[in-house]
């Protein structure tokens, strides 16, 4: 059941799991509003401390004021990425707060809800159009990308999404997560939907949920390997579109050497 908000900019949400400076664990920041997300990204990745300060601003007005006063510290490519930042923020808000029903909200209603961000109407309108395209796009998951060579994963995923301008990555967030693929998606402002929790045990049930929750599955397997047999069988049984990418054991050995 969805509950259309009286004020969308009072809806808080969790963003993506990102590396914590100086720590091996990842953190998931809580954003008081979409405006806090938008203003905070102006300082990333070089000024994480200013990003954190935005998150603690008590209101949308204060977040905008804080960021504007420090415009000299904004990322140099802000004008190039601001569309993508707002669209991704809407995506993360929709994923974390399904009760808001953003994907089904009328465009005019969503535009009105975003007016308090004080952004140009034409800019917001274009972002809302792209958000609605994203909402209708596929959810893509991977299996085996956490152990496959970077070059293999990068080439295959890029090819898979080449004709999909808007899509969502379905990712684990435990020890089996494909963090390299995850971070690549974030760098391209692709919203991520998470399955499980950081301490969730990897199990057959989790694999089944992964297959069930995605629209398309990309499987990576070393040639001659059998580790992916069960997930392939399950995906085919559910008639889930599946792509199998095989790679040589020599490629895996080369990756291991570069990490040592």
Percent of the chain with pLDDT over 90: 87
Q: What is the pLDDT of residues 120-136, one digit of tens each?
A: 999 999 999 999 999 99
Give the residue from 158, 140, 144, 154 showing the smallest Cα distance to 222: 144
Cβ–Cβ < 8 Å for 171, 153: no
Task: Answer whether residue 9 shows pLDDT above 70.
Answer: yes
Residue 189 has pLDDT above 80, yes or no: yes
| 102 closest CA partner among 122, 131, 71 | 131
- Comparing CA positions, the residue from 202, 36, 214 lying closest to residue 141 is 214
Q: Which CATH code fits 139-259?
A: 3.40.50
Judge if pTM exceeds 0.95: no
Task: Delimit the domains of the chain by residue range.
Answer: 8-135, 139-259
Surface-to-core class of residue 181, CB atoms within 10 Å of its CB (0-12 exposed, 13-18 middle, 19+ buried): buried
> Which pLDDT tens digit goes with each residue over 12-26?
999 999 988 777 789
Nearest alpha-carbon partner for 97 in 211, 213, 4: 4
pLDDT at 126: 98
pLDDT of residue 85: 98
Geometric angle at alpha carbon 248, from 190 and 232, rounded to 5°: 60
Distance CA 40, CA 201 (A): 33
Report the percent of the chain where pLDDT is more than 70: 94
Among residues 193, 178, 184, the alpha carbon closest in space to that of 143 is found at: 178
């Amino acid at each position: 059941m969805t509950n259309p908000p009286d004020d969308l900019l009072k809806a808080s949400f969790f963003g993506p799991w990102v590396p914590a400076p100086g720590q091996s664990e990842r953190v998931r920041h809580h954003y008081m509003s979409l405006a806090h997300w938008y203003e905070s990204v102006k300082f990333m990745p070089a000024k994480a401390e200013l990003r954190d300060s935005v998150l603690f601003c008590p209101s949308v007005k204060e977040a905008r004021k804080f960021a504007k006063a420090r415009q000299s510290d904004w990322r140099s490519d802000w004008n190039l990425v601001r569309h993508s930042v707002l669209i991704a923020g809407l995506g993360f808000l929709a994923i974390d707060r399904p009760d808001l029903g953003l994907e089904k909200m009328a465009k005019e209603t969503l535009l009105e809800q975003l007016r308090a961000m004080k952004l140009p109407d034409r800019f917001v309108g274009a972002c809302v159009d792209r958000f609605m395209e994203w909402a209708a796009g596929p959810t893509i998951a991977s299996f085996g990308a956490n152990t496959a060579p970077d070059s293999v994963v990068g080439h295959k995923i890029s090819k898979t999404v080449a004709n999909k301008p808007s899509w969502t990555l379905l990712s684990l967030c435990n020890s089996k997560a494909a963090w390299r693929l995850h971070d690549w998606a974030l760098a391209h402002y692709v919203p991520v939907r998470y399955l499980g929790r950081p301490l969730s045990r990897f199990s057959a049930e989790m694999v089944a949920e992964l297959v069930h929750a995605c629209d398309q599955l990309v499987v990576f397997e070393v040639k001659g390997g059998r580790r992916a047999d069960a997930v392939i069988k399950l995906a085919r049984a559910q008639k889930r579109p599946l792509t199998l990418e095989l790679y040589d054991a020599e490629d895996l050995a080369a990756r291991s050497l570069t990490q040592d």
